[in-house]
Amino acid sequence: MQQGFDHMKLGYVRVSTSEQDTRAQRPALLAAGRERVFGKAASFQSPAQCVGTSTSAGRMLMLGTFSEFERSMLRERTQAGRKAARAAGRHVGCPRALKDIQERESVAKPSAGAAAADAARLVGVNRSTISRLQSRIPRNEADETSLRR
């Protein structure tokens, strides 16, 4: 009997919800040359976790699981793209708010007595941008650059 199945074309109909039915799938599979068609409404049930697709709560949980999976995959693809861009020498992230000379002058001004907020207003950026620059660029380097101009 095993040899009879070697050349037999089988078909399988499947539906995921109770609102769907297999009536349209059976004739299509038979018309496509399938000799036998199997199947019925399918659902998933995990007795260990009391979760399944046969209830609204189970479908919601499954949908949430797949959504979380897709979000995780998106995050991985994004991180891989950013890593490849950095390796190719391209800038990743927001464009810089200030040019190099503006950064150094903005850091030098507060050291000359002006507050960081004043320096930020002068160049049109947020005060936190100036604070970050002050921690990144040493004041003596900023002062030297300003004096050379």
* pLDDT, tens digit, 9 for 90 and up, residues 46-86: 666 666 777 788 778 878 888 899 999 999 999 999 999 99
Answer for the pair 70, 45: CB distance below 8 angstroms, yes or no: no
> Average model confidence (pLDDT) for the chain?
76
Answer for the pair 123, 102: CB distance below 8 angstroms, yes or no: yes
DSSP code string of 44-84: -EETTTTEETTSHHHHHHHHHHHHHHHHHHHHHHHHHHHHH
Q: pTM for this one?
A: 0.40
Domain extent listing, the chain: 10-42, 45-93, 100-148
> Which whole number is the average pLDDT over 39-45?
61
Per-residue pLDDT band for 87 (boundaries 50, 70, 90) equals very high
Question: What pLDDT score does 1 carry?
Answer: 44
Per mean pLDDT, which range of 17-26, 30-39, 118-127 is the poorest? 17-26
Question: What pLDDT score does 55 carry?
Answer: 78
> Which whole number is the average pLDDT over 6-28?
73
